[in-house]
Structure 1
């Protein structure tokens, strides 16, 4: 095999039991493989086992002078090597011994492919929060290789891209340092630069990813993703479209209306309060119905976590716009499947249908309270 692969692994913790097996991956016969381990933590303690593997020949360790963020660190990895292909891997995955052979074989068979999306397998959920993550669909990109022959982008946990396809495109540093949106931005820009050719999926290139924080509830991650995703319509407007206000945006608009009503017409405060409570109740109902349709593990706690995951993401989306003064970003959504839809206002799914049925009833109820007062 005459391919050359640069393996880029950004890391903050340099956890030995994950990284050593990655650095020990079997090199394909005839291929040149170089590992670029990049720490975004200037105070990181490098274990002796990892230090012994760093040889400056095929295993390199670079430490950022300060915490620069995921985008900067991956860019440094791209620029450190010159291999024909760049394989991005997370620093907390477990890998099969033949992972590089699978990727090298794919590169030989399809040398002009934009890239290959590997499969990222999460463990079977052991707690309700993990069941909720799966039910929410937020991690569907991890297993896209199981369901599609190709796709517009992939998770940086396990994806290989042709260097000549990348060209001078880099991960944008306008996104949150800890990650959120920059991967979608990068892979879609690379795709656009290559006649919008999707990445091939490669389910045989399977890695395992652990649950975060031992499956403990964590809503900071979806909030951060939402904050980053708020930038996507601005950075890639060709993939943006308008939607009806989501629950968080609707509540914000109702709160603004309540503030105005408190000055202009206090009698409206009661109906507005009923409307806000109803909006939140409808969110719970619509999300639960959608979770059941997605075959979520039955359980009130699971359904509740799915609701909170959605609200956390949407709150991050709103905050990402408000903190930059981008009021026009409210109701603007990003088509992360790579589509060019101009408007999603009347695109239906189970979640929307339930809301469309219940919202008129809620508005009627609020109006009835007002007129009977």
Structure 2
């Protein structure tokens, strides 16, 4: 503006509404304005074009004169209102109160203001750093030497053996096993490695824990600690020796009896012990735990204070996980504040039995950017690990309704409109060997903002042991480095010793994840470093979207075959995000979808080929069917989320890959009949279902071969003429014969798919699929569908004419007989 903004002028811009405004603006001025079809009595012009006098005279004024029916020699009178008043260099962060959020959401988009900022930042530093704002740096919370809060250590101890727990009439007998809910509660009771004379071994184990507690908490701070010890009422070792326990534990002790109805139900024991605590911080330990770092309470308290300062939420609305060396990357021993109990009454929902409690708490607070790792607070289970528990594990599905219900409760308690944490996992099916360089590039992806919780799931879909070992070694190397800073961005490797296909591998990672969003990447793509930021910005800009399509770029043509692929545009849907705001579907090489905890029935179907083809279309259609009220908004394009995809088969002939796609997408006709439409028979259907039966019936195989050959030649001449303009552009400078050859080869790519679909019809004996086509645009482009149908009529008439002429002698003989 020509004047400075008033000092008290501030406003909030919702990223989603701003994106909606941009989309409508562009639709009006980029499509309707330039469309030769849209009839109108209004001349549209945007402000930028009107205020740029030189551009207006050269590009706009001639069209305006033509629209008005006046001579271009008419003198223009420039009004004051058309003089550009805005300063493109002005600092908008002073008036937009959520400028940092807005800049992050549109940082990599084509919005001019943020695009210029990005270019300026790259010119200065060579990279794009965090958002530029006028926000003052937050005051760092000083690291104190003492503990300001009081602590309750929940310590359930038990001397019963496995066999004794198994015989307990109160122990649970469920056989359910769900590995994605595995947690460390299984090791919080006494180990089973002792024989009948293990009484002293029990005391030695507990003594080790007490020693580590005493060594890591200074005596002056121990007065702020209490230990809430849970003992089974029938325990013959610990119940009679409470005085000995008091003498051993280096802080105040509160004893709680564990009734037989709770035997083996560790989550309920935890709730019971927590109800007897009245201190600020609550942590669950086991007698097999060894604390390794001095001053861990101070560090955790400081972490809680920093979280509260950075988020503005109440002190205690957080979960801080300690670094368990026996189970790295898993929030085994979360620390919770009294604030949590005040809001939820119990530490865990009553549905929990003995599995899933610790990840539940971490996942709950991560949605509010208040879950954190304190990796400098290390501990180790001397007996614990990934082994079996001494009781029957009981898993519940807490990832859906239970977690959502508590998120809503927490959201109400902290009085926030929108949750700010982003939980996004990356799932990569890995079959290719010797591709650790690609996997490393993916595993090193990072977001530039805090409050983004990411796990990587590398699903090895290859029984080759060397490949499994290589991927595990890579994960261990990168995890060890990452755990020096944070437990975030942890890499999980899953393998099942078989090649079950890409769909099965993606389902595995998809179902293991508890995140709100899942990013599918292929193991041969090279993602841009900013891809996580781009997708997170897309999540904020398109809150109704359930599927976000990134941009998958293919290399420039390097030989004749890749020129043919470019000309026939077989990779259209790889780059669909650049062409459509709401794509009908997109490829799973680079696709972000809503997590399985929201829609567990959506899965990749295993009826599609192992190597891929049709499963991506099917998946997106499932999301649209699951969220019918979202309509067109169920999908959204994020063209700034870019990956580079190599040519298939190294840029050499890959008809096998193309036929696999066609075999898979032909299944969509049977899976999604409502997404299809009818046409007249194409050339291969005409040859297979008309000419071939006619040749057999008339006993004229030579005539049938000749007629079929003419139909095939005619079809490919039509396709060659269709692709010739693109071939001329792609192969500019080459000879016309070479350009014709490339155009002809481009046609054979589509022909290979059409042949495969007819083969699929015959193999499946699916008469329903004859003359039926998948609507690739899912109803968004009725004119394209009409064009395909109209073209099929012309081709069919030509093919029928050729067939009639070819079998003319038979028709003449038949007429004579009649």
Structure 1 position 169, deviation (Å)? 0.7
Which structure has the bigger radius of gyration?
A: 2
Match of 2:58 in 1: none
Contact 1:165–1:194 (Cα < 8 Å) also in 2 = no
Kindly report which structure 2 residues correspond to 1:25-104, keeping only aligned pairs within 5 A, or say none: 25-28=445-448, 29-43=450-464, 44-45=466-467, 46-47=469-470, 48-53=473-478, 58-104=490-536
- The separation in 2 between residues aligned to 1:35 and 1:178, in whole angstroms, is 22
Offset from partner CA, 1:258-308 (integer Å, 9 cap, x none): 12221xxx4xx4443332011111121111122124456352332232232
Structure 1 position 70, deviation (Å)? 1.3
Contact 1:289–1:351 (Cα < 8 Å) also in 2 = no
- The separation in 1 between residues aligned to 2:660 and 2:514, in whole angstroms, is 32
CA pair 261-357 structure 1, distance change in 2 beyond 3 A = closer
Matched, 1:113 2:545: yes
- The separation in 1 between residues aligned to 2:797 and 2:560, in whole angstroms, is 29
Contact 1:54–1:61 (Cα < 8 Å) also in 2 = no
Contact 2:561–2:651 (Cα < 8 Å) also in 1 = yes
Contact 2:518–2:594 (Cα < 8 Å) also in 1 = yes
> How many positions carry a matched residue from both structures?
368
Offset from partner CA, 1:197-223 (integer Å, 9 cap, x none): 341101111111111122111211111
Alignment equivalent of 1:309, drawn from 749, 770, 780:
749
Match of 1:321 in 2: 761
Match of 1:156 in 2: 588
CA pair 340-113 structure 1, distance change in 2 beyond 3 A = closer
CA pair 329-140 structure 1, distance change in 2 beyond 3 A = same
Structure 1 position 353, deviation (Å)? 7.5
CA pair 205-294 structure 1, distance change in 2 beyond 3 A = same
Alignment equivalent of 1:246, drawn from 682, 688, 692:
682
- The DSSP-based 3-state class of the residue aligned with 2:526 is coil
- The separation in 2 between residues aligned to 1:354 and 1:23, in whole angstroms, is 52
- The separation in 2 between residues aligned to 1:367 and 1:109, in whole angstroms, is 62
Structure 1 position 75, deviation (Å)? 0.7
Q: Which runs of 5+ in 2 are unaligned?
A: 1-419, 732-738, 814-818
- The DSSP-based 3-state class of the residue aligned with 2:607 is coil
Contact 2:524–2:646 (Cα < 8 Å) also in 1 = yes
Alignment equivalent of 2:440, drawn from 3, 14, 20:
20
CA pair 170-191 structure 1, distance change in 2 beyond 3 A = same
- The separation in 1 between residues aligned to 2:662 and 2:655, in whole angstroms, is 11
Structure 1 position 350, deviation (Å)? 9.2
CA pair 341-101 structure 1, distance change in 2 beyond 3 A = closer
Q: Which runs of 5+ in 1 are unaligned?
A: none
CA RMSD, 1 decimal = 2.8
Task: With the length of structure 2 as denominator, give the TM-score of the two structures.
Answer: 0.42
Contact 1:128–1:301 (Cα < 8 Å) also in 2 = no
Matched, 1:337 2:757: no
- The separation in 2 between residues aligned to 1:199 and 1:322, in whole angstroms, is 34
CA pair 279-322 structure 1, distance change in 2 beyond 3 A = same
- The separation in 2 between residues aligned to 1:362 and 1:166, in whole angstroms, is 52
- The DSSP-based 3-state class of the residue aligned with 2:570 is coil
Match of 1:179 in 2: 612
Match of 1:134 in 2: 566
Alignment equivalent of 1:230, drawn from 653, 656, 666:
666
CA pair 289-50 structure 1, distance change in 2 beyond 3 A = farther
- The separation in 2 between residues aligned to 1:99 and 1:122, in whole angstroms, is 17
- The separation in 1 between residues aligned to 2:679 and 2:462, in whole angstroms, is 40
Match of 2:697 in 1: 260
Structure 1 position 237, deviation (Å)? 1.1
- The DSSP-based 3-state class of the residue aligned with 1:150 is coil
Structure 1 position 351, deviation (Å)? 6.0
